[in-house]
């Protein structure tokens, strides 16, 4: 993999990743204002969680027509976020970031009138990852070679961002489909470098520690061992297993675990990465063909945080809120109000239905 670093007109970094040498000399000709990030972190004392307040994002680009897509390559007379006329995989700093390294550091100690609501600068980094220059493509249709390049990019970015002082956790993810809330339809994902431990990772770590204290065993290992041969397996090979979790929250949900413990994507070796691509593209194809139209989904890498790295087991969640043709699962009163999920589907039935999908 070959990395080429350049700068956009407003100073943001853009990185080109290519499988073979490609000259990358195009410059950004746009007249862009400097990026102004006013994010803050505010502490919710009742839930023991941090909330990112990023009100400047209200003006971000929203569902432009295809001929105005900012993630397509630049063409004569229409410069975009990517100055080159073509690309393989591109990563650049988000123009409307929730978190940024150059954020305003002079913030009050707490929210006015709320002494328990501590305030911190919205430090971190938000990156956009473009998987292909083809506007009408999708990850499911990338092919093995391009998908493998994306995995290598996830690994490279995770390693670099994890080394930044003040970053606690690196989160690679893809939002796919307008129903999910995607504002740009071009095939892309994102990477967030958080300065705090996210609620999900913190809760999982607490469960891992309780399980070890109670049984002397590793919770991740026990889950992988049980699910790797169970009735909820959707796809597998000699290095990965993909299964519907027994207590799935989402109508369609699959978790991908490597069969050996690694903390994050950078720790996957070449054979692990190739094997992941095989299983992942298989399951994405099943998601695309399960109903009359491809399912919207979120793909979410769960990587080790800085604190707790030795206890973590890398895994990916792939889930959709579509429960049936033309029907979505809405997070209404119980889910949004109390965080108590009520599922509309049976995990064993979902696994069987996905296995039955004809992908060829």
What does the pLDDT look like over 173-206, one tens digit per residue?
999 998 988 889 999 999 999 999 999 999 999 9
Inform me whether the pLDDT recorded for 254 exceeds 90: yes
Pairing relationship of beta strands 125-130 and 89-93 according to DSSP bridges? antiparallel
Q: Is 186 a catalytic residue?
A: no
pLDDT confidence of residue 165: 96
Q: Which one from 135, 176, 186, 188 is the annotated catalytic residue?
A: 188
pLDDT confidence of residue 37: 81
* Residues forming a β-bridge with 110: 118
- Alpha carbons 56 and 98: distance in angstroms, whole number: 9
pLDDT confidence of residue 311: 97
pLDDT confidence of residue 57: 77
Q: Kindly list the domain boundaries of the chain, sorted by start residue.
A: 2-22+36-196, 200-355
Task: Report which DSSP code applies to 294.
Answer: P
Task: Report which DSSP code applies to 325.
Answer: T
For the stretch 86-99, pLDDT in tens is 999 999 999 999 99
What does residue 255 show for φ and ψ, rounded to 5 degrees?
-110, 140
Q: Give the confidence band of 61 by pLDDT, cuts at 50, 70, 90.
A: confident
5 three-class SS? strand
CB 314 within 8 A of CB 303: yes
What does residue 125 show for φ and ψ, rounded to 5 degrees?
-155, 140
pLDDT confidence of residue 34: 85
CB 178 within 8 A of CB 85: no
- Alpha carbons 259 and 113: distance in angstroms, whole number: 50
- Alpha carbons 96 and 39: distance in angstroms, whole number: 10
* Residues forming a β-bridge with 328: 322
Domains 2-22+36-196 and 200-355 share a fold: yes
* Average of per-residue pLDDT across 145-156: 98
Q: Give the confidence band of 64 by pLDDT, cuts at 50, 70, 90.
A: confident
Q: Which CATH superfamily, name and number, covers 2-22+36-196?
A: HIT-like (3.30.428.10)
Class level of CATH domain 200-355: alpha beta
How many other C-beta atoms lie within 10 A of the C-beta of residue 180? Answer: 16
For the stretch 213-250, pLDDT in tens is 999 999 999 999 999 998 999 999 999 999 999 999 99
Phi-psi region of 246 (alpha: psi -120 to 50; beta: other; left: phi over 0): alpha
- Alpha carbons 262 and 273: distance in angstroms, whole number: 12
User: What are the tokens at 77?
Assistant: 């007379």
Contacts of 151 (CB under 8 A, 6+ apart): 265, 268, 273, 276, 277
CB 16 within 8 A of CB 4: yes
For the stretch 131-144, pLDDT in tens is 999 999 999 999 99
- Alpha carbons 290 and 276: distance in angstroms, whole number: 21
pLDDT confidence of residue 255: 98
Distance of CA 306 to the CA centre of its chain: 18
- The chain-wide mean pLDDT, for the chain, equals 95
Helices (H), the chain: 144-162, 199-215, 219-227, 270-289, 338, 347-355
């Amino acid at each position: 993999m070959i990395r080429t670093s350049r700068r956009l007109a407003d100073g943001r970094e853009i990185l080109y990743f290519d499988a073979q040498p490609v000259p990358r000399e195009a410059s950004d000709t746009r007249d862009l204002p400097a990026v102004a990030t006013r994010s803050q972190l505010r502490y919710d004392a009742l839930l023991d969680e941090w909330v990112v307040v990023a009100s400047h994002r209200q003006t971000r680009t929203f569902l432009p027509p295809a001929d105005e897509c900012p993630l397509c390559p630049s063409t004569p007379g229409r410069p975009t976020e990517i100055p080159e006329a073509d690309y393989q995989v591109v990563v650049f700093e988000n123009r409307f970031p929730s978190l940024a390294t150059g954020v305003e550091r002079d913030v009050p100690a707490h929210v006015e009138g709320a002494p328990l609501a501590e305030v911190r600068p919205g430090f971190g980094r938000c990156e956009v990852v473009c998987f292909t220059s083809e506007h009408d493509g999708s990850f499911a249709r990338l092919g093995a070679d391009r998908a493998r390049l994306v995995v290598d990019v996830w690994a490279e970015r995770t390693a670099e961002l994890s080394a930044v002082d003040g970053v606690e956790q690196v989160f690679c993810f893809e939002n796919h489909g307008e129903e999910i809330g995607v504002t740009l339809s071009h095939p892309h994902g994102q990477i967030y470098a958080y300065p705090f431990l996210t609620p999900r990772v913190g809760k999982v770590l607490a469960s891992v520690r309780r399980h070890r204290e109670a049984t002397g065993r590793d919770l991740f290992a026990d889950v992988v061992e049980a699910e790797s041969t169970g009735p909820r397996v959707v796809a597998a090979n000699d290095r990965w297993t993909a299964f519907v979790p027994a207590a799935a929250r989402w109508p369609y949900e699959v978790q991908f675990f490597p069969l050996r413990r690694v903390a994050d994507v950078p720790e996957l070796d070449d054979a692990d990465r190739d094997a992941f691509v095989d299983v992942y593209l298989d399951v994405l194809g099943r998601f695309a063909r399960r109903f009359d139209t491809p399912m919207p989904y979120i793909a979410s890498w769960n990587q080790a945080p800085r604190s707790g790295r030795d206890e973590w087991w890398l895994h990916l969640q792939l889930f959709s809120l579509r429960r049936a043709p033309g029907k979505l699962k809405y997070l209404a009163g119980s889910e949004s109000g109390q965080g108590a999920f009520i599922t509309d589907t049976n995990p064993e039935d979902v696994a069987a239905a996905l296995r039955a999908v004809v992908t060829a």
